[in-house]
Amino acid sequence: MAEAHNEPSDKLYLTIAGSLAVLTGVSYIGDLMDLPRGALICLVLAVAVVKATLVATFFMHLKVDWTKVKIMIIPAILLACVLVFALLPDITLAMREKPGKKPPAEKSKSAQAAVKTQ
């Protein structure tokens, strides 16, 4: 059965576009105000999340097609979790490397200079 969709009006799209512009301005003004680095990062991330939510909900029509999106998002999240757990042994073993041992590509400058003089 086909679902009945109410088409959003042009006024709604223009309102959302205007709010995206205002949110971009908030990020820019926050940068100009010389906020502390942590506060600026939090501000910009919060603005980015709000903007992404607005774009996904209205411009990408996820508000209307959410049931179809669930079918795609849930397996992707499950696969991402499996990937994290699959790579976890590599991550933990990489953190346990011996402190003095370096790969050949990362030799010190003095060792490289000694090789050049020979």
Query: Which pLDDT score is estimated for 116?
Result: 63
What is the residue type of 89? Answer: P
- Does 46 reside within a domain? yes
Query: What range defines the domain where residue 89 resides?
Result: 66-96
Residue 3 lies in a domain: no
Mean pLDDT in residue range 37-45: 93
pLDDT score at 99: 64
**Contact by Cβ (8 Å): 54, 48:** no
Q: Is 105 domain-assigned?
A: no
Rounded Cα gap, residues 108 and 110, in angstroms: 5
Q: Quote the pTM value.
A: 0.53
Do 15 and 52 lie in one domain? The reply is yes
Residue 63 to residue 7: CA distance in whole angstroms: 11
